[in-house]
Amino acid sequence: MALLQIAEPGLSAAPHQHRLAVGIDLGTTNSLVATVRSGHAACLPDKQGRMTLPSVVRYGSDGEIDVGQDALKAQKIDPANTISSVKRLIGRTLADIKANEETRYLPYRFGEDERIIQLHTRAGVKTPIDVSADILHALKNRAEASLGGELTGAVITVPAYFDDAQRQATKDAARLAGLNVLRLLNEPTAAAIAYGLDNRAEGTFVVYDLGGGTFDVSILSLSQGLFEVKATNGNSALGGDDFDQRLFCWLLEQNKLSQLNEQDSALLLSLARAAKEALTHDNSATIQATLSDHRHINTRITRATFQQLTQHLVAKTLAPVKQAMRDAGVAKTDITGVIMVGGATRMPHVQQAVATFFGQTPLNNLNPDEVVALGAAIQANVLAGNKNDDEWLLLDVTPLSLGLETYGGLVEKVIPRNTTIPTARAQDFTTFKDGQSAMMIHVVQGERELVSDCRSLARFTLRGIPPMMAGAARIRVTFQVDADGLLSVSACEQTTGVQAHIEVKPSYGLDDAAITQMLKDSFSNAETDVQARARAEAVVEAQSIMGAVQSALALDADLLDASEQQSIQAALIQTQSQVNEGDVQSLRDAIQALSHATDHFAAMRMNRNIQRALQGKKVNEI
Ligand code: AMP
């Protein structure tokens, strides 16, 4: 069984030559790097033997950059120059960040420009790509020191719901860090590789991934060695950080604290996280701190209270689970196993809620922090050409439909949502007007029928279409989504071979809340959308018929007497007024009336054209 692309061109390893390839889990809270050695995947530790690298970067006063534990420690005293959870910012705009409850109160000095994110640090302006590159660079150094050589490439994991902008930004960060990206891989898919290879199971699996900052759920189908992601869903603004935040707020209430300075906030937040982690094993935890104004905090919390405070966050994960199951067309009884991924799934009430929901104990025999990196390492090993047989076929899906704007502001879906990727689909379109020499291609994403309700991804123009009658040109538009989920669209006029092409790199991203909202809207507006589509189609038809009648009148009005001309003009006016403001039915009636009013005219024009064609010809020539 082959992986999608077993080896990238030129990367097949010579016999006995092992290429150094790693899998990187670039996490919101922690990152890891893993590799396959002697056929076994393992995470690579730092010099102190620690596997996880906190995804925290500190820009120091003397120009040095700390990544990981040292930066995490400094966060308490230097929050503005210490960037954490940068994954929440990558591929986003400042406007997105401000609109999001989870990110709007971050203690950073943001630049003014709403369209990008600029973090003002003492080392100058840093973008989320720069910060992510610093984390990746630290992991690259760790791997090269540990493996004793230069890396051939890396597979980097991203949440299943990352859109094009977020994926592209992650790739850019990797390049900036000097890494050759073999592939971006969805995190739950990586986890499934790790479990699939270990357990060789068949059936339908759910990957429940609650990390530090994101929640992803995927429905996977495994059969006869074939691994397919059936559906994905999630919430990119929900994770272990939210549990910390809730506990932090409770701590403020308990101690009647408001208005904390940045330093005290960061201190209490990190103590809240430590207490949360302790409550996984212990029945109670005590949070002790001295604030900058010398106030002492000494608050005890029990596991039961913590679970009560955060039960709503656990419950919030179940809605995307249900939606993914609906999308995949599976019921709870179809689920063979549930794979737990992400450090936050260690919390007993998360395990309990998942077990109760599915009526079975989730699979958690692999370390939930490491499983994604291990799966990525296994795939990197294959892509680097170190492994030739017995690989898994791995498929991901598109989260939202991709389509084109057609005449009348309608969306023609080319790749429906939950299509397995990589994929390529082509559809033929034609021109609307006689002699039309250019065509604007507008690429949109979403489930709704009208362009105005979907998200615009890109526009480009196909020029040089030879002059033809409306409807005669054949323009083939091809959508291609590669294995990293990046979209490229090309258009080609079939008779001349004229081509245009665009790679879609949207300047800002969609977060999961937006995707969920778009899906919800498409369900709740299904009825109105059908009507809007029917009306838009009727408008296009009316405009096309009116255009044809007007050009016929310009050529052959002399065939009509005054009263016939009047009734056609009246029908034209009536149709135009229904185009402007009529409902679907009255518009259809007007089209029918116009067609009826021109029946006789059409017959006379046909006679005239036949006579012209026959004029001066002998019978035997005809
Ligand atoms: P990840 O993004 O997968 O590295 O997950 C990190 C999240 O897991 C953070 O919110 C951690 O606080 C959380 N986490 C790690 N260990 C534990 C634990 N023992 N109990 C509860 N949460 C944990």
Q: Tens digits of per-residue pLDDT, 567-619?
A: 999 999 999 999 988 888 898 899 889 988 888 888 888 888 777 777 766 65
Rounded to whole angstroms, the Cα distance separating 87 from 55 reads 9
* Mean pLDDT to the nearest integer, 102-126: 86
Q: Is the pLDDT of residue 169 over 90?
A: yes
Q: What's this model's pTM, rounded to 2 decimal places?
A: 0.59
Give the mean pLDDT of 473-480: 88
pLDDT digits (tens, 9 = 90+) for 328-370: 999 999 998 899 998 999 999 999 999 999 999 998 888 999 9
Which mutation among 24, 30, 139 tests ligand 1's pocket best, with the greatest number of atoms within 8 A of CB?
Answer: 30
- How many angstroms separate the CA atoms of 3 and 8, rounded? 11
Angle at 559 between CA 553 and CA 561, to 5 degrees: 95
> One-letter amino acid identity for 65?
I
Ligand 1 proximity of 54 Cβ (cutoff 6 Å): no
* Ligand 1 lined by 279 (C-beta under 6 Å): no
373 lines ligand 1 (CB under 6 A): no
Lowest mean pLDDT among 306-320, 362-376, 488-502: 488-502
Listed range (32-36, 116-120, 442-446, 519-523) with the worst mean pLDDT: 519-523
Model confidence at 199: pLDDT above 60: no
Instruction: Identify the bridge partners of residue 21 per DSSP, sorted by sequence position.
Output: 153
**Ligand 1 centroid vs 511 CA: distance in angstroms?**
22
| C-alpha to C-alpha distance for 446 and 452, rounded to whole angstroms | 10
Nearest CA to ligand 1 atom 10: 240
Spacing, Cα 16 to ligand 1 middle (Å): 39
At 258 the three-state DSSP class reads coil
Determine if ligand 1 sits within 6 Å of the CB of residue 152: no
Give the whole-angstrom CA distance, residue 606 versus residue 612. Answer: 10
The whole-angstrom separation of Cα 22 and Cα 34 is: 6
Of ligand 1's atoms, which has the minimum distance to the CA of residue 209?
3
Query: What is the distance in A from the centroid of ligand 1 to the CA of 176?
Result: 28
What pLDDT does 8 receive?
30
- Which residue's structure tokens are 């019921």? 331
**Cis geometry, peptide bond prior to residue 422 (ω within 30 degrees of 0):** yes
> Rounded to an integer, what distance in angstroms lies between the CA atom of residue 227 and that of residue 317?
24
CA-closest residue to ligand 1 atom 9: 212
- Percentage of the chain beyond pLDDT 90 is 41
Give the Cα separation of 598 and 551 in Å (integer): 13
CA of 20 to the centre of ligand 1 (A): 29
Task: Judge contact between 69 and 147, C-beta under 8 A.
Answer: no
Distance 161 CA to ligand 1 centre (A): 20
Q: What angle do CA 93, 96, 102 make, to 5 degrees?
A: 125
pLDDT score, position 271: 97
Residue 491 Cα to ligand 1 midpoint, Å, equals 47
Share of the chain residues as helix, strand and coil, in percent rounded to the nearest 5:
40, 25, 35
372 CA closest ligand 1 atom index = 3
How far is the C-alpha of 444 from the C-alpha of 400, rounded, in Å? 10
Q: Is there an atom of ligand 1 within 6 Å of 159 CB? A: no
Q: Which of 396, 387, 385, 449 is nearest to 423 (CA)?
A: 396
84-93, 170-179, 429-438: least confident range: 429-438
Q: Is 342 in the pocket of ligand 1 (CB under 6 A)?
A: yes
Ligand 1 pocket check for 344: Cβ under 6 Å? yes
At 237-284, the pLDDT tens digits run 899 989 999 999 999 999 999 888 988 998 999 999 999 999 999 999
Catalytic residues: 25, 87, 187, 209
Does residue 240 line the site of ligand 1, with CB under 6 A?
A: yes
Express each pLDDT in 185-195 by its tens digit.
888 888 888 87
Q: Is 343 exposed, middle or buried (0-12, 13-18, 19+ CB in 10 A)?
A: buried
pLDDT band at 6 (very low <50, low <70, confident <90, very high): very low
Q: What is the DSSP letter of 346?
A: G
